[in-house]
Amino acid sequence: MDVTGEEGRRRAIEELSDPLYGKSEPSLLDRFLNWLGELLDRLASAGAGVIPGGWLLGLVLLVVAVLVIALIVYLRPSRNRGVEPPLHKGAVRTAADHRALSDQAEARGDFAEAVTERLRAISVDLEERAIVAPRPGRTATELAAEAARSLPGQAQGLDEGARLFNDVVYGDRVATTESARTMRELDVRLSAARPVLDDEGAR
């Protein structure tokens, strides 16, 4: 079936408007969508008088649009992080349970699980020690911010731990043995850290 320039433009707009791209205010992607639509219109109009029926031009434009869409999807950052995932999912476990799962994962080379389970162990340990209050749905970033208020000397490590967790969960970073070691060392430091009381911080 012949594909006109207008049909190619319509298909490109429908594809780029897919919910896969997320709901957001006018962004770079929205501006690109408008620009692509205008470009397809101009090229279709210009080619109408050159190629009879314009079907060949429409087909070429459709192929180009599909290639552009594929490139956008491939290069699109995996983190459209309007909402971060919660630290904990499924059954409630103790800090010791999460540490054991992390150690087992690291031993078999599953460094992504080692990283995620280690931060879960840290989260539960901080709750058990009353450094942070238990709260369902807490994210890694929230944990780092809340714990840093009582453990200011560990703020940088907490931030790095949250970043590692988020990068692994979103797939932006491949977990390595170094990632697992970093999280394990953070766990050790936090276990030994003494919370700073408000009156101590005021001195």
Is residue 131 pLDDT above 80, yes or no? yes
Question: pLDDT band at residue 142, thresholds of 50, 70 and 90?
Answer: very high
* Average confidence (pLDDT) over 179-199: 89
* Average confidence (pLDDT) over 100-125: 95
Please give the single-letter amino acid code of residue 116: T
Report pTM.
Answer: 0.58
- Given CA atoms 153, 155, 158, 163 in this order, what sign does their dihedral have? negative
Out of 21-30, 83-92, 113-122, pick the least confident.
21-30
Is residue 49 pLDDT above 60, yes or no? no
User: Residue for token digits 């707009």?
Assistant: 13
Tokens representing 156? Answer: 């940088």
Is residue 81 pLDDT above 50, yes or no? no
- Mean pLDDT, the chain, as a whole number? 77
Q: Give the model's pLDDT for residue 169.
A: 86
Mind listing the pLDDT tens digit for each residue in 3-15? 455 665 555 555 5
Q: Give the model's pLDDT for residue 98.
A: 95
Query: How many C-alpha atoms does 117 have within 13 Å on its Cβ side?
Result: 21
Q: How far out from the chain centre does Cα 47 lie?
A: 42
Mind listing the pLDDT tens digit for each residue in 63-74? 676 666 655 554
Alpha carbon distances (Å) from 32 to 29, 89, 123: 5, 37, 41
Please give the single-letter amino acid code of residue 199: D
Q: Give the model's pLDDT for residue 120.
A: 95
Question: What is the SS3 assignment for 139?
Answer: strand
Question: pLDDT band at residue 121, thresholds of 50, 70 and 90?
Answer: very high
167: Cβ–Cβ under 8 A, 6 or more apart, which residues?
173
